[in-house]
Amino acid sequence: MTAADSPELALFASTTAAFLQKEAPLARVRELHAAGRSFDPTWWRRAAQLGWTALLVPEELGGGSVSGNGVTDLAMVAEQLGKTVAPGPLYPVSVVLTALAECADAQAHAAAIESLISGAVVASWAVCEPGRGWAPLQPTVTATRADFEARGAAGGYQLDGVKDRVEAGAQSALLLVVARCGDEVRQFLVPTDAAGVRVEPQQSVDLVKQYARVRFDGVVVDASAAVGSAAETAALIDRQSQIAQVLQCAEVVGVLQTVFDFTVQWALDRHTFGRPLASYQALKHNFADMKLWLEACRATTAAAVADVAARAPGAGLSASIAKSYVGEMAGRIVQCCVQMHGGIGVTWEHDLHLYLRRVTLYRSLFGTPEEHNLRVYAAENAGRYAK
């Protein structure tokens, strides 16, 4: 999503691509799946050393970007991840770092930020709930104010409820939990080894993206666990949602470009009746359609990344437009590529299915296309009636 318009950015892009091709090829993804693993912690620490985890954190907190805008740089990394459907907790860690670095009391969380940037610790965003769609500002998990003087603390909170679809939940040391505190929505940084926290693995359609259901049964945290004030939490969650959505769309663009490219090559190499498959008019029309959809996915994602990076007033709407369009068209494009491959395309041995699983998973995370269609419709109606 980011044009390599400087030597520094070009080096960062090439280093990222080379690292992923060497350390996280498709063969490695299959190996991790066979072993029942999500990602190698040592690999993640090396990825962090490349600067991935520091891009959304200001320099005064130990971070820094390459181009001057961490969102666009991170979108470029996400697009590269899509080319090999790489593992790793890039999105949950990035979202948690966004909240910690952008809240008013960021310095209070300096130790957690440092550990996340180094890759020594993994954290995830506990925002989704069982049986509910994308409603980050309507949690059912509760945070009750309580007095814990007996524990040597002036006060704190007790968390109760259930979150699910928590990425890398079993591999995370910290969870950023969205909860309702009276009439307010708050976020709390909760250690996964705290008393009352129970992490249960959930089945995932993806080979290496693992998720968990997390139960909070009377989990007690100090007041210092709150991330941001009550007044700023809604804006923080909106910002976190936008970043998660555009990074996901950027990765899907990387998936689509890769799948499209090797499908075109397959059609050029494969011959039938003495002619390349790509020479048949019906296939040419399909390729033209897929190319149009792919470039539309790239354009809507690039526009959303630019708006989120610039903190534009319509950034949330742009992210919803991208999530709606990319989520809807990605599966259609990959399914067309499966059909183009014929019989080999429907076998498990073909790498197409690794990509198909990733886009199928992402279609339902951080809001389905249908949910974002409704958001776009509501925004358009609100604008029309305001006039």
pLDDT in tens, 162-218: 999 999 999 999 999 999 999 999 999 999 999 999 999 999 999 999 999 999 999
> What residue ranges do the domains of the chain occupy?
7-118, 123-228, 233-386
Q: Quick one: pLDDT band at residue 333, thresholds 50, 70, 90?
A: very high
Distance CA 342, CA 334 (A): 13
Q: Quick one: pLDDT band at residue 269, thresholds 50, 70, 90?
A: confident
Q: Which of 215-224, 317-326, 377-386 has the lowest mean pLDDT?
A: 377-386
Distance CA 53, CA 122 (A): 10
Distance CA 35, CA 42 (A): 16
Q: Extract the tokens encoding 370.
A: 């249908």
Q: What is the pLDDT of residue 152?
A: 45
Q: Quick one: pLDDT band at residue 374, thresholds 50, 70, 90?
A: very high
Distance CA 218, CA 215 (A): 10
Q: Extract the tokens encoding 27.
A: 């063969």
Record: fold of 123-228:
Butyryl-CoA Dehydrogenase, subunit A; domain 2 (2.40.110)
Q: Which of 41-45, 139-143, 248-252, 343-347 has the lowest mean pLDDT?
A: 343-347
Is 153's pLDDT higher than 60?
Answer: no
Mean pLDDT computed over every residue of the chain: 91
Q: What is the pLDDT of residue 30?
A: 93
**Beta strands, E only, 66-196:** 123-126, 142-146, 156-167, 174-181, 184-191
> 270 in the Ramachandran plot: left (φ > 0), alpha (ψ -120 to 50) or beta?
beta
Alpha-carbon distances of 216 from 224, 343, 374, 387, rounded to whole Å: 18, 47, 31, 46
Distance CA 130, CA 336 (A): 32
Record: fold of 7-118:
Butyryl-Coa Dehydrogenase, subunit A; domain 1 (1.10.540)
Q: What is the pLDDT of residue 344?
A: 78
Say what the pTM is: 0.92
Distance CA 111, CA 123 (A): 13
Q: Quick one: pLDDT band at residue 3, thresholds 50, 70, 90?
A: low
Alpha-carbon distances of 363 from 138, 322, 326, 327, 345, rounded to whole Å: 21, 12, 8, 5, 21
Measured over the CA atoms of residue 33, residue 35, residue 36 and residue 39, the dihedral's sign is negative
Please list, in sequence order, all residues whose beta carbon lies within 8 angstroms of the beta carbon of residue 114, skipping any fewer than 6 positions away: 62
Is 148's pLDDT higher than 60?
Answer: no
- The CATH number corresponding to 233-386 among 1.20.1290.10, 1.20.140.10, 3.40.190.10, 3.40.50.620 equals 1.20.140.10
**Beta strands, E only, 44-146:** 123-126, 142-146
Q: What percent of the chain has pLDDT over 90?
A: 79
For the chain, give the longest Cα–Cα distance: 84
